[in-house]
A and B are shown apart, each in its own frame.
Chain A
Amino acid sequence: MIALAVFRVAAYVRSHRAYQALLPILFVIAIVYASRAPRGSEAAALTDSAVLIIPFLAWAARGLLDTEPDEQRAISATGVGGGGREVTAGLLAALVTCAAFAALTLGCGLALGLSATPSREVVIAAVVLHALAVLAGVALGALTSRPIVPSPAYSIMALVAGFLAMLLLGVTPAYWLTVPVTAWMKAAGAGRLVAELPELTVISLVWCLVALGAYAWLRRGRP
């Protein structure tokens, strides 16, 4: 399964699709951290970057999962010993790729984007939020990948709509009905990120796992 994940990452990089995600992520980094975040707003700046890269992480995950032609997916499934392993290998490859993009974003933020060194608690919270962004991006990208949404036009619309739903639902009292990314930003802006992190993490994690489970279940009938 690891070998298949390596194959898929290699195919993704060789196909140059990786750059389609890397370039907008670099753009987000440049926008968010162009002027160093002032002292006291480190948590807000790091949270903004975690939220804003989610659609591009989803784009990266979708791109990686769609790099393989459909028949290659069938060959891979027989090679690795079953469709379930093929799905797992694809998600693993997407997680590794998105984690690299998220680490780049967080690293740039910590090294270049802040006027003051953030506290240890804020750094840990930023790491957790970027990890949740990776999971959210992979889940959204997987649910809009070709086996689930064959039409590229509908797939891109679904990806954007999914992220907008996260943003809009997050400002309502029903923020717990999705990955509450707006609630992340509100908590960070109000200086309550560290205190509210456990609750936000649980809600976000549950929805990410539900979405990944839904993807795995849907793939049973969509090889």
Chain B
Amino acid sequence: MGSISIVGFFSPTMRAALYRYSTMWLTEVSFRYRRRDRYVIEAAEAHLSPGDVVELTGPNGAGKSTLLRLLAGLTRPTSGAVTGRPAIVGYVPDRFPTGQSFTVAGYLRHMARVRGGARWEPWAERVGLDGFAGVRLGELSKGTAHKVGLVQALMAEPGLLVLDEPFAGLDRDTRDALPDIVTEVAARGGIVVASDHQGGMGAVDGLRLWSLRSARLVEHPPSSSPPSSFPPSPAEPKAAEDLVAVEVSVPARDLDGFLRRMRDDGYPARALTGEETT
């Protein structure tokens, strides 16, 4: 499992900020909910260096959210350890809890005080929340509520930013802005880990690709080719004669994410070459 060295890309000021954070380690991390349950995550080994951006994929129910909660320190591993976690953690759940009796501004003011007086207004403006300050959380659409979740996590300049399905429900402007925001967090030395079914993180340079499958954490090489250590999927046909070829057109920017999702589900997907499409 490797990480990408990014120190060389930064100015001296950025580099100074980078060194505020240490490397985070997952050592033999296993987790199960109850004593006799099967392991959701088994013997996960990984390290995360300052500036790393990780996209975590896997089928539904694979344990992605559980792994994110372990990384964020919200859940304790059944065995093993997560060490070197940065002091400031930003966590964005896949569904922001709107069942709270606050307006957007009231809620973010409280969260800013909890964060020691962080400034939330610039982030609210950046993700397009400035027009919703007086709206009650319960009246927000899913995507707008998700932006509130993003702002509360970003306002304190987290050393570790954990995003659970960050693109779900977001409008196009915010979807386009999010990779830049993630890049900025990484540029000042923060670690970003995001589970993503939409392939929206593909635009981030140096993206590390993790997937969870059968309770095992696997890191893909940057080329996004499927790892050889994957066990065969139940969905994968056994004989060549069982295979049928289908043609699907996807926007070029979504290609990597689409192929990853198909491979996560056990289908040997590949992009057609120029000759094959003509």
Contact = CB atoms under 8 A, between A and B. Distances in A.
B93 A6 contact: no
Contacts of A72: 97, 100
B113 A68 contact: no
Given A14-B102, A74-B91, A74-B93, A79 B73 contact: no
B74 A4 contact: no
A82 interface: yes
Nearest to A77: B74
B90 interface: yes
A76 interface: yes
A84 to B, nearest CB: 10
Contacts of A70: 97
Interface in B62-82: 69, 72-76
Interface residues of B, dominant DSSP: loop
Contact of B95 (A3, A4, A71, A79): A71
Interface residues of B, number: 30
B272 interface: no
A7 interface: yes
Interface of A: 3-4, 6-7, 10-11, 14-16, 68-72, 74-83, 220-221, 223
18 contacts: A3-B116, A11-B102, A68-B97, A69-B100, A71-B93, A71-B97, A72-B97, A72-B100, A74-B72, A74-B74, A75-B91, A75-B153, A77-B73, A78-B162, A79-B111, A79-B114, A223-B74, A223-B75
Interface of B: 69, 72-76, 87-91, 93, 95-97, 99-102, 110-111, 113-116, 149, 152-153, 156, 162
Given A74-B72, A79-B152, A220-B76, 20 more contacts: A3-B110, A3-B114, A3-B116, A7-B114, A10-B102, A15-B101, A71-B93, A71-B95, A71-B96, A72-B100, A74-B91, A75-B149, A75-B152, A77-B73, A77-B74, A78-B73, A78-B89, A78-B90, A78-B153, A223-B74
